[in-house]
Amino acid sequence: MAVSPTALILASLLLVAALVAWGVLTIQDRRRAAIDARIKTVVESLALEADDTPQPEREGLNRRVTRLMRSLPANTGERLELAMATTGGKVTPVKLIIVGIVALIVTFVLMQIFNFRGLIGTGIALSSGYLAPLYYFKRARNKYRSSFLEVFPEALDLIARIVRAGVPVTTGIEVAGNESPEPVKSVFSEIASQNRVGISFEDSLNRMVKRLVIADFSFFASALVLQRESGGNIAETVSNLSAIVRKRKELRKKGEALTAEARTVAGILGALPFVTAALVALINFEYIALLFIDPRGQMILGSAMMMLFMGMMIMRGMVNRALR
């Protein structure tokens, strides 16, 4: 278990710096969100010319990263921005970089402790630095989609009732942007704002479809565009779509209930090795001490933990794929 003190000190300093940067960015995002909410409340009653005012670009490190993204070749920066938008703005490139650095440092230190040095330890650390931001991004995106679909049917019902009263669907979307809870509120508010500044209804819907990448919202946008082109009862179409979205949500909930046993078994199987090792250590610590003292035992312990982690991720992926 001989680890270089210089490497440990350097890794610790980098880890602390990354965590401090993460905390500062989180505090700045919360303050910026609070300020934006106050500004939005004040300017909602102003004239339409206020909608033409461009939003201030993020300052500091996020601004420099945004410029770097836009300078990447072959529209890579635009694709990254669209990918960040699918999380509702909760994830930024700076946060992904910090997550990757933290995962790389932690994995590198663990590889040194478990005697996985050289190319093997470096490869595992680099893989962790790549997979951890990817997992964090997918988790944030799925969380945003779940919260959006949780309140989306109620917004559709509100739009359908407004359209039945003889009000245009654009006004119904604007009302839904004011009355619906987040994150549906911000989506419909942005569509209404784009319509007020002269952007066509179809273009604003297409932009939001590309930004959200949610199938249920894509159905809603396609139905509205087709109804506006070919005519028909928009209220009935929106009501039917709301019923379909509710059924899809019920199917997902039912799938979660049916897979609850599998997820519980996976959690028990994942915790069983640690519980067994703790009990063996309480009964006869010398018997299990070889895993921590002997270099070969350290490699065996590290391999077992990696295989256990991979198995849990595979089971989780199978369950999530079944719920789609």
Which pLDDT tens digit goes with each residue over 35-85?
655 555 544 444 344 444 444 444 455 555 555 555 555 566 667 777 888
Query: Are 99 and 157 contained in the same domain?
Result: no
Per residue in 158-190, is it b (16+ CB within 10 Å) or e — as a string?
bbbebbeeeeebbebbbbbbeebeebbbebbbe
- CA distances, 96 to each of 12, 166, 287 (Å): 19, 47, 42
Taking a C-beta distance cutoff of 8 angstroms, is the pair 205, 191 a contact? yes
Taking a C-beta distance cutoff of 8 angstroms, is the pair 303, 291 a contact? no
Token digits for 61?
């490190």
* Distance in angstroms (rounded) separating the CA atoms of residues 44 and 41: 6
Query: Are 84 and 169 contained in the same domain?
Result: no
Domain end position, chosen among 248, 272, 297:
248
User: CB under 8 Å to 137, separation ≥6 — which residues?
Assistant: 83, 87, 91, 96
Three-state DSSP at 72 gives coil
* Neighbouring C-alpha atoms within 13 Å toward the C-beta of 181: 8
Domain end position, chosen among 248, 280, 307:
248
Query: Are 121 and 33 contained in the same domain?
Result: yes
- Mean pLDDT value across the chain: 78
Average pLDDT over residues 162-176: 88
Q: Is residue 253 a part of any domain in this protein?
A: no
Share of the chain above pLDDT 90, in %: 7
Domain end position, chosen among 87, 109, 143:
143
Q: Is residue 314 a part of any domain in this protein?
A: yes
* Distance in angstroms (rounded) separating the CA atoms of residues 264 and 268: 6
User: CB under 8 Å to 59, separation ≥6 — which residues?
Assistant: none
Tokens 């940067």 belong to which residue? 21
* Distance in angstroms (rounded) separating the CA atoms of residues 22 and 17: 9
Q: pLDDT category, 32, cuts 50, 70, 90?
A: low
* Distance in angstroms (rounded) separating the CA atoms of residues 245 and 221: 13
Query: Are 200 and 295 contained in the same domain?
Result: no
Containing domain of residue 63, as a range?
5-143
Q: Which one has a higher pLDDT value, 233 or 24?
A: 233
Query: Are 19 and 107 contained in the same domain?
Result: yes
Query: Are 19 and 137 contained in the same domain?
Result: yes
Which pLDDT tens digit goes with each residue over 88-107?
878 888 888 899 999 999 88
**Phi, psi (deg, nearest 5) at residue 245:** -65, -40
The whole-number pLDDT of residue 64 equals 57
Query: Are 10 and 108 contained in the same domain?
Result: yes
Average pLDDT over residues 255-281: 84
Give the chain's domain count.
Answer: 3
